[in-house]
Amino acid sequence: MLSNLKLQPQDKILQLIQMFREDPRDTKIDLGVGVYKDANGLTPVMRAIKSAEQQLWQSETTKSYTGLAGEPAYQDAMIGLVLGAAVPRNRIAAAASVGGTGAIRQALELVRMASPDATIWISNPTWPNHPSIIKYLGMKMAEYRYFDADSGAVDFDGMCEDLAQAKAGDVILLHGCCHNPTGANLNMTQWSEVVRILQATGATPFIDIAYQGFGDGLEEDAAATRLVASSVPECLIAASCSKNFGIYRERTGILMAIGETAASQPVTQANLAFLNRQNFSFPPDHGARLVTMILTDDTLRTEWQTELEQVRLGMLSLRTQLADALRVASGSDRFGFLAQHRGMFSRLGTTPEMVEKLRAEHGIYMVSDSRMNIAGLNARTIPILAKAIIDCGI
């Protein structure tokens, strides 16, 4: 049986990690891996997480299973964080998941159960796991234009033209904030137009929000998701705690499914629990419990929000420093869009050949589509990167 298996394509980012490790150059820079790093190149444990873990260690009395959909307190805390009061709670079904990726997988499985012929519309470009999971599940997929490489901004006219082709029953996958891989975001006026298109076509929005708090602030980053969710009959939301709580390895996420009325909530909730049972039974609880403690304790929440804001402002500063360094090195403002992008990532807008040239000649490691992890930079490496970009003729 096992001899019938075929070798699967290696993950490109994992390949980059290995190549970076084997590169002996002191000036090498890793901008590929999608995790937050501080100025020392470390992914630290947030202070509020440390405090919550100490409290949990003293108070926890059991390691028994939690519920199939996770703890209700975690669901309520995350719904409050992402949606606020935008949607009545009795319309929302929710289930804890194995990270944000697990929430995406569960959402797509839910769509396949409810509407097997649905087409999933994804942005071009998008996070590679989106099309990978859709293809693996054998679902229909279409792309909508999103990024204009020349301007480094959203191709909004192209996006709207493509989304208008969606049909009732289709699902439109949207990035709630800090678009991955481009860093280019819609403004609220543009989001209102997306809502109008959703209402006109009858397509269902599916929002992936993995970076709340990394862009313009916790509330600001949730504004688009709240607008969409409050404006359409049904909505799916996959949220991750990996980045904004820094608990990557705890695999803490949640799927929210918003129905048109409260009457549909019990059936949807039962289906979310059923899907969890089929895939992993009970979701991991440690990270979810820490998140719950932080979001429901005023002292812990204040400490967490303070540190998260420091992280956000630090990344904005790195963006400004890089744009300024490139302005000086190039004698133009053609890289000014980097300071306007938000979140961990930006897309430089160059070719795979130029990306390879950056790696081979300067030890600059980024994904072949020119996605850079801005959080991988610091004051020492910014001038090195700026010089390399100009030297390569980008």
> Which domains occur in the chain, in start order?
12-45+304-391 (3.90.1150.10), 65-296 (3.40.640.10)
Given the residues 93, 96, 210, 222, select the one marked as catalytic.
210
For residue 230, what are its two tokens? 């409050």
**Is residue 127 among the annotated active site residues?**
yes
pLDDT at 39 over 90: no
Residue type (1 letter), 11? D
Indicate the pTM of the whole model: 0.96
Query: Residue 115: is it exposed, middle or buried by C-beta count within 10 angstroms (0-12/13-18/19+)?
Result: middle
**Is residue 208 among the annotated active site residues?**
yes
Chain-centre distance of CA 271, in angstroms? 24
Given the residues 148, 162, 208, 369, select the one marked as catalytic.
208
Contacts of 20 (CB under 8 A, 6+ apart): 28, 30, 32, 365
Instruction: Report pLDDT for 16.
Output: 87
Given the residues 121, 127, 191, 304, select the one marked as catalytic.
127
**Is residue 155 among the annotated active site residues?**
no
Query: Which pLDDT tens digit goes with each residue over 189-213?
Result: 999 999 999 999 999 999 999 999 9
Instruction: Report pLDDT for 41.
Output: 84
Query: Degrees (nearest 5) of the Cα angle 243, 20, 342?
Result: 35
Residue type (1 letter), 67? G
Given the residues 52, 148, 243, 369, select the one marked as catalytic.
243
Query: Which pLDDT tens digit goes with each residue over 76-121?
Result: 999 999 999 999 999 999 999 999 999 999 999 999 999 999 999 9
Instruction: Report pLDDT for 369.
Output: 92
Question: How many other CB atoms are there within 10 angstroms of residue 353's CB atom?
Answer: 10
Q: State the average pLDDT for the chain.
A: 96
**Is residue 210 among the annotated active site residues?**
yes
Question: How many other CB atoms are there within 10 angstroms of residue 14's CB atom?
Answer: 11
Query: Residue 327: is it exposed, middle or buried by C-beta count within 10 angstroms (0-12/13-18/19+)?
Result: middle
Question: How many other CB atoms are there within 10 angstroms of residue 360's CB atom?
Answer: 10
Cα–Cα dist 139/350, whole Å: 31
Cα–Cα dist 301/291, whole Å: 9
Instruction: Report pLDDT for 59.
Output: 96
For residue 88, what are its two tokens? 């009545």
